[in-house]
Structure formats: C-alpha cells, structure tokens
Homo-oligomer: A and B are copies of this chain.
Amino acid sequence: MTSADAATDGRAAALLAHTRTAVTPGLRAAVDSLPGRLGRVAAYHFGWEHPDGSPAEGPPGKAIRPALVLAAARALGGDPAPAVRAAVAVELVHNFTLLHDDILDQDATRRNRPTAWAVFGTADALIAGDAVLALAARLLAEDDHPAAPAASARLAACVMELCAGQQADCAFEERAPDAITLDECLTMATAKTGALLGCSCALGALCAGADPAEVAALDAFGREAGLAFQLIDDLIGIWGDPERTGKPAGADLVARKKSLPVVAALTSGTPAAAELAALYARPVLDEPAVRRAAGLVERAGGRAWAQEQAADRMGRAVHQLSVAVPDLEAAGDLLALAEFVTRRTR
C-alpha cells in the first residue's frame, strides 16, 4: 500500500467511524420499534445482542452505505443531518438482503457469528427480514423532508433490482458454467452490488436538494464503484489477498463460483476455456485442480479482463462524480470511500 493509499484509507476509516456515531442511535431506535421476537432477531443480526437477548458488542457493520448517503449530501452542499434517516433506511435495506441471502445460500456464519437463521430458525429470520424491509420503507414514508417521497420511490425501485440480482445469482448456481454470458453476469453484479451503493449516493443527493442530473450522476458513481469493488473481490476470490489476511486464495474456485473473471474466461472461446469448463464440471476440485483452474482463468484472459474492467469502472465512477461535483475538495470524501471499498478486502 502506498502512503497516498494509506492517507485515503485513513480518511475513509474516519468517515466510517463518524457515520457509525451519527447513524447508530437512529438505527437502534428503529430496530427497537420492531415488534416482539422480530426485534430480538434483528438486534442479534446487527450484533447488539446475544441469542438470549443480553447485550453484545459484536463487530459492527462497516456502514459503507450510510457513509455514502452522508458524504453525497455533503458533497452537494447539503446539511448531512436530514440525510441521517435515509442513511438508516439504506442500512436497514442492506441488512434485509443479508438476512434473506443467508437463508437462500444456507450460510451458517456472518461476521464470525452464527447467522440469524442458524440461531433462530428459518421462519423467524425470514419474517425478521421482511419486517426490516418494511421498517426502512416506513422510516422514509414518515419523513417530512421534501425529498422523502422521491427517496422512498428510489429505494423501493432499488429493492426490486436487488431482488432481481439475488434471483439471477441463485439461478446461475443451477446453470452450466459455460451457458452464462458475460453480459448476464455483469447485469447480475450491478443489480446485486452496484444498485444499493448507487441508491445510497442518490438518496444523499436528493436530501441535499440536488437536481435530477446530479442525482443520476451520483447514482452512476455508486454503481460503477460497486462494480469495480465486485470485480476486485472476485479476483481476490481466485488469487487471494496479497496484503491482508482475508479470503484464502482459490476460495471461489473451490465453491465453483461463476464469478466475473471465471465467466470472462469461460466465454473467451480459447482452448483454456474448454479445459476450465471441463474442470468446473467435476463434482469436487482438489488443491492441484484449483491451482490449475486459476492458471486457466489467467490463460483464457479472465484475470486481465477483470483488472482492466475494474480500472475502467473506477474511471467511469470518478468521471460521473466530477460531473456532479466538479470541486475536488467537496468530492474528496466520496472518492475516499470509493477507493476504500475497492481496496477493503485486499
């Protein structure tokens, strides 16, 4: 990491800490308003309680989406205070997706703790997810900020896109690896990862009274940065994290995930693609097979493609940001957050 990177990361870390301080009281009050058992399930999921309801200090969520809301409001010259409610709403929507995705993927752990469904059962976790989504909608509907109806509509549309992304992701699991096009894969990643980052920026802009063109540019900024993040995360899922302890190298290959670099390789029409498809058709991949698969993704051009795409998407993100916020000083926080998310798992 260069010293410039370290400075950016320091700025982002400070922003995230500041955001958690600003947003957590509203988030906890909202979750406390959930009826009975559903409040318990949600408080556990957020890391504030143990399964028995006693207080816990679990690792808090990073609050990247709320930080984008507040930073976007500030970048457009708005007071971030009225944007706090929107920041709470996007964090609720993010956690609604986590509650349901963990059920669908049968993931048993999240942030080093058993997932909500693993502790409370599928029914309670599913219903708690529904209630958390309704809570987000309610928060914005009860807001008397002039931008609240537009923010509500945008967040609801974003949830529909998140659902489409999750559905596509689940469907990919069932399909032959070489039957998925790169376009489908990019659309899925944009819907699943980019949409809520874009919506967070757009909601902040709306709270600052931005005009439609500025709102659209900030949405595009968040989406492109989100896609850059996903591409880099996918590269790490194959080649590991050179700087931090995180995902082990090859984790996505062991799970035979149809990630972006893999689909780029499989659809390359190269001899390596055919060899990779044959490997992916095996029921289990052992250690040497995983190493071979990583080499095939690289030879088929999947690694280079993903690296170029990630850089290209970050370039587009920065361009979109410069359209809406020409002043580099004002745009600084959003840039730092975008650079942080694309580097955070490295």
Contacts from A to B (Cβ < 8 Å): 34-38, 96, 100, 103-104, 122-124, 126-131, 133-135, 137-138, 140-142, 148-149, 152-153, 156-157, 159-161, 163-164, 166-168, 170-171
Contacts and interface: CB of A to CB of B under 8 A. Distances in A.
A52 to B, nearest CB: 16
Given A124-B170, A164-B35, A167-B124, A142 B135 contact: no
B153 A134 contact: no
A126 B153 contact: no
B133 A130 contact: yes
A133 B166 CA distance: 15
A133 B134 contact: yes
Kindly list the 8 A-B residue pairs having the minimum CB-CB distance in the complex, ordered from nearest.
A138-B156, A141-B152, A35-B164, A134-B159, A141-B153, A131-B163, A137-B156, A137-B137
A143 to B, nearest CB: 8
Contacts of A166: 127
Nearest to A135: B160
B157 A138 contact: yes
A163 B103 contact: no
B141 A141 contact: yes
B149 A141 contact: yes
Contacts of A142: 153
B130 A163 contact: yes
Nearest to A123: B170
Residue among A122, A127, A133, A142 having the largest count of chain B Cβ atoms under 10 Å: A127
A38 to B, nearest CB: 6
Given A96-B130, A104-B126, A137-B159, 13 more contacts: A36-B168, A37-B168, A38-B167, A100-B126, A103-B126, A104-B127, A130-B130, A131-B159, A131-B160, A133-B133, A138-B160, A141-B149, A148-B149
A33 B153 CA distance: 14
Contacts of A124: 167, 170
Contact of A160 (B34, B160, B171): B34
A3 to B, nearest CB: 44
A104 B123 contact: yes
24 contacts: A35-B164, A36-B164, A37-B171, A38-B164, A96-B130, A100-B126, A100-B130, A104-B123, A127-B167, A128-B167, A131-B159, A131-B164, A133-B133, A134-B156, A134-B159, A134-B163, A137-B137, A137-B152, A137-B156, A138-B153, A138-B160, A141-B156, A148-B149, A152-B152
Contact of A38 (B103, B138, B163): B163
A161 B35 contact: yes
A198 to B, nearest CB: 16
Contacts of A35: 160-161, 163-164, 167
Contacts of A129: 130
Contacts of A160: 34-35, 38, 131, 134-135, 138
A181 B237 CA distance: 52
Residue among A137, A138, A159 having the largest count of chain B Cβ atoms under 10 Å: A137
Contacts of A96: 130
A164 B96 CA distance: 16
Nearest to A105: B123
Contacts of A171: 37
